[in-house]
Amino acid sequence: MKTLRSLALLLPIALSALLAGCNTVVLNPSGDIAAQQAKLVVQSTVLMLLIVVPVIALTLWFAWRFRASNKQADYRPDWDHSTQLELIIWAAPLLIIIALGALTWISTHTMDPYRALKRIDAERRVAADVKPLEVEVVALDWKWLFIYPEQGIALVNEMAAPVDRPIHFKLTASSVMNAFYVPELAGMIYAMPGMQTQLHAVINKPGNFEGFSSNYSGAGFSHMRFRFLGLSNADFDAWVEKNKTEGAGNALSRDAYLKLAQPSEKEPVRRYASVDKNLYQAIYDRCVEANKMCTSEMMAIDANGGIGGAPGAYNLASMDEATRRRLGISELRTGEKGRTYVAALCTPANPQGITPPQKVSAADEAPATRQQ
């Protein structure tokens, strides 16, 4: 018995020592959206504990009070009902459920990741003339690509944003689904190939924060991490210039992207001083390859009634050996060799640009292959 008491006294000390190294960033973040989410977690937990704690306490009390050795306790073998207890047992959880439902309903709408921010923090609203920082995010295998269309730069595994300026993220993926997550900034949001998700957030404190993928995506998933920098406006401008200087000579063209998109692990930070202005749209539209039909083109053809016959049977293309040599790709991913895709039915004026959706039919458009 004495040993058990000693262990009971040492347990809180041991737990404190174990938790001393824990980082409670989720409950103490530096961004307003993450702070609201942390508040929601605390409020929901407290509401649920209003039921959980009394139930546990009463369970222990009943077990002690009505133990077999306690001859002083009332013994009522025929007791089976109490209206007062029934009201408490059912009414209390019902009120908690109503409160949780209301809290969830309100927070689901106010913290919708697709909804533009209306406040910087609890005390400040977003000024009407403030334009959000646009960041285009691509989840690759196994690294992150960040494109800044306004600044004309791109980076691998590093991004930055000015403090107190709203950020508008557009996210997609190259091959498999990932989840973009910066605990200091906001909750996670999925990035999926052929689809675009959005996230609005703001960072309220300067710092060097960690971001990562929170959805398993293969062998290199554990190292799919990046740095998120919260900077002042002046420091952000200097950071942009630094990227243009250090990335001088590095242009993120479509060919460069196809090389970058090949699976790799533990990638260092890469900087590109310029980027193809249509690259993100091509990634999202699944047509970075010069002769590949975009999904928007496919949908336009379908909306116009299709092309009749056996669609896609005569306009299939693949990344042949010559194309791989031109891109410097020596090996393809497992299962990719011999894989085909639908080639475009028309030739654009600019092979490196995005072809607008074409409404074609078998009667007025002969099949052709987009020029390389």
Tell me: the pLDDT tens digits for 70-124?
Answer: 888 888 888 888 888 888 888 988 999 999 999 999 998 989 999 999 999 989 9
Can you tell me the distance from the alpha carbon of 245 to that of 15, in angstroms, rounded to the nearest whole number? Answer: 49
Same domain, residue pair 180 and 259:
yes
Q: Stretch 289-317: mean pLDDT, rounded?
A: 72
What is residue 22's predicted lDDT score, i.e. its pLDDT?
61
The answer to whether residues 333 and 264 touch, using CB atoms and an 8 Å cutoff, is: no
Same domain, residue pair 251 and 181:
yes
Same domain, residue pair 208 and 337:
no
What is residue 362's predicted lDDT score, i.e. its pLDDT?
39
What is residue 337's predicted lDDT score, i.e. its pLDDT?
53
Q: Stretch 47-69: mean pLDDT, rounded?
A: 90
The answer to whether residues 148 and 241 touch, using CB atoms and an 8 Å cutoff, is: no
125 within a domain of the structure (yes/no): no
Nearest C-alpha neighbor of 342 from the set 310, 364, 365: 310
pLDDT, tens digit, for every residue of 21-35? 566 788 888 999 999
Q: Stretch 230-246: mean pLDDT, rounded?
A: 95
Same domain, residue pair 300 and 273:
no
Alpha carbon distances (Å) from 169 to 42, 70, 163, 311, 353: 27, 65, 15, 36, 23
What is residue 291's predicted lDDT score, i.e. its pLDDT?
81
| Domain CATH code at residue 45 | 1.10.287
DSSP 213-272: E-S--STTGGG-EEEEEEE-HHHHHHHHHHHHHHTTT-EE-HHHHHHHTS--SSPPPEEE
122 within a domain of the structure (yes/no): no
Close Cβ partners of 137 (under 8 Å, ≥ 6 residues apart): 144, 145, 146, 147, 169, 170, 171, 172, 180, 191
Q: Per mean pLDDT, which of 3-17, 145-159, 341-355 is the most reliable? A: 145-159
Same domain, residue pair 278 and 345:
no
Can you tell me the distance from the alpha carbon of 260 to that of 143, in angstroms, rounded to the nearest whole number? Answer: 9
Residue 19 corresponds to which tokens in the numbers above? 């938790």
**Which pTM does this prediction carry?**
0.76
Among 282, 303, 322, the domain-final residue is 282
Burial of 27 (0-12, 13-18, 19+ CB in 10 A): middle
Higher-confidence position of 342 and 162: 162
Among 282, 313, 347, the domain-final residue is 282
Residue 225 is part of which domain span? 133-282
Alpha carbon distances (Å) from 371 to 111, 295, 341: 46, 18, 15
What is residue 345's predicted lDDT score, i.e. its pLDDT?
64
Based on the structure, what is the number of domains in the chain?
Answer: 3
121 within a domain of the structure (yes/no): no
Same domain, residue pair 260 and 303:
no
Whether the pLDDT of residue 191 is over 90: the answer is: yes
Q: Stretch 296-303: mean pLDDT, rounded?
A: 82
Cis peptide before 142 (omega within 30 of 0): yes
State the CB neighbour count (10 A cutoff) for residue 59: 10
Same domain, residue pair 339 and 276:
no
SS3 (DSSP) at 70? coil
312 within a domain of the structure (yes/no): yes
What is residue 292's predicted lDDT score, i.e. its pLDDT?
85
Q: Stretch 57-79: mean pLDDT, rounded?
A: 86
Lowest mean pLDDT among 16-30, 204-218, 263-277: 16-30
Same domain, residue pair 255 and 370:
no
Whether the pLDDT of residue 324 is over 90: the answer is: no
Same domain, residue pair 273 and 294:
no
74 within a domain of the structure (yes/no): no
Higher-confidence position of 199 and 358: 199
| Domain CATH code at residue 140 | 2.60.40.420
Can you tell me the distance from the alpha carbon of 199 to that of 179, in angstroms, rounded to the nearest whole number? Answer: 12
Nearest C-alpha neighbor of 147 from the set 53, 333, 277: 277
Among 282, 309, 328, the domain-final residue is 282
What is residue 60's predicted lDDT score, i.e. its pLDDT?
94
Can you tell me the distance from the alpha carbon of 138 to that of 260, in angstroms, rounded to the nearest whole number? Answer: 11
Same domain, residue pair 154 and 189:
yes
Can you tell me the distance from the alpha carbon of 253 to that of 257, in angstroms, rounded to the nearest whole number? Answer: 6
Give the single-character DSSP code of 369. Answer: -
Q: HEC states along 307-359?
A: CCCCCCCCCEEECCHHHHHHHCCCCCCCCCCCCEEEECCCCCCCCCCCCCCCC
What is residue 289's predicted lDDT score, i.e. its pLDDT?
87
First to last CA, the chain: 82
Beta bridge partners of 143: 140
1 within a domain of the structure (yes/no): no
Same domain, residue pair 192 and 215:
yes
72 within a domain of the structure (yes/no): no
268 within a domain of the structure (yes/no): yes
Amino acid at 47: L
239 φ/ψ angles, rounded to the nearest 5 degrees: -65, -40
Same domain, residue pair 251 and 176:
yes
The answer to whether residues 153 and 244 touch, using CB atoms and an 8 Å cutoff, is: yes
Q: What is the CA radius of gyration of the chain?
A: 29
